[in-house]
Amino acid sequence: MADEVAPIIVKKVKKGGHGHHGGAWKVAYADFVTAMMAFFLLLWLLNVTDSVQKQGISDYFAPTVASTSESGSGGILGGTSMQTEGAMKSNTGVPSVTSSIAPPEEGKKDDGEGDGQSEIDEAEFLARLAAIEEASFEDAKDQIKQAIAADPELEGLADNIIIDMTPEGLRIQIVDQYDESMFKSGSSTITQRVKRLIGKIAKAIQNLPNGLSISGHTDSSGFAGNSYTNWELSSDRANASRRALIETGLESERIRRVSGQADQDPMIEDDPSNPSNRRISIILLRETPVLPKNLK
């Protein structure tokens, strides 16, 4: 018995610990990353969209009801029927959608009344735009008056500026007085006080989108024996005023028209030689049309 060989026993031990657990965690992690991406995308949309765009997105994802007939408990997921009322003909039949909108009657057009309504809506829209523009003109007018009153160097120039509303827009006129002239006699050189005044005007209207029209006017006094007439003088003074506006910060693209009127459009018609006829007229042009009274 001692000579018999003992059997060889091989024992296999499976090591435990941190082995391979499969790929389930990858799926869970991918779902988590996708959810976080959707969450941050939602936060971004809430930040960059206004209330109108948010409403549009909400309407896009809102469920719609294709039929007015309901069965079961009602609601979106409560058994709403997409078929016509009556007995079910087939379990595999394609749902039908019914419409409660009646077709237009023959011989009648549904755009007649709509055109009238659209015209009213357009008129109301233009009236509102005109009211906003009118308010901006009044605000610019007040700013100019306040700027003149607050500047000691412009003391006394309040009588030299006339601001009124015209069909073309807000008209700002800088006129000569017996004791104060905008330009040197027979010249287009602007005095320093008037150039400072033009700077105040440019600052008051620089934030408005309206274009400008500039015209120069003279009195009836002419130039004896000289080819340089009031036409050239009024045009040069209007152009000098344009340059002064641009130098004080107004965009050159806003200037729509520069013209010289000589003495053809006097302010004081019964006294053509009056100094007040010598003036520069700056018109802040309307962007919206003036509506007839029956459409306002």
pLDDT digits (tens, 9 = 90+) for 41-61: 888 878 778 777 777 777 777
The total of structural domains in the chain comes to 1
Q: Which domain holds residue 196?
A: 158-289
Give the pLDDT score at 130.
75
Q: Are 278 and 217 in contact (CB under 8 A)?
A: yes
Q: Both tokens of residue 43?
A: 């936060």
Secondary structure class of 170 (helix, strand, coil):
strand
pLDDT digits (tens, 9 = 90+) for 164-202: 998 899 999 999 988 888 998 888 999 998 999 999 999
Answer yes or no: is pLDDT of 122 > 90. no
Q: Is 226 inside a domain boundary? A: yes
**Residue 279 maps to which CATH number?**
3.30.1330.60
E strands present in the chain:
161-165, 169-175, 212-217, 255-260, 279-285
Distance, CA of 250 to chain centre: 20
Q: Is 181 inside a domain boundary? A: yes
Name residue 35's amino acid: A
Q: How far apart are CA 217 and CA 277, in angstroms?
A: 7
pLDDT-derived band at 140, boundaries 50, 70, 90: confident
pLDDT greater at residue 100 or residue 125: 125
Where does residue 169 rank: exposed (0-12), middle (13-18), buried (19+ CB within 10 A)? buried
pLDDT greater at residue 160 or residue 9: 160
Question: Residues of the chain with pLDDT > 70: what percent?
Answer: 70
pLDDT digits (tens, 9 = 90+) for 228-267: 899 999 999 999 999 999 999 899 999 999 999 999 999 9
Distances (CA, A) of 204 to 147, 187, 269: 9, 27, 31
Q: How far apart are CA 66 and CA 215, in angstroms?
A: 65
Give the pLDDT score at 296.
45
Instruction: Give the single-character DSSP code of 177.
Output: B
Give the pLDDT score at 28.
85
Give the pLDDT score at 153.
85
Q: Is 82 inside a domain boundary? A: no
Q: Both tokens of residue 261?
A: 């009127």
Which pTM was predicted? 0.55
- What is the chain's mean pLDDT, rounded? 77
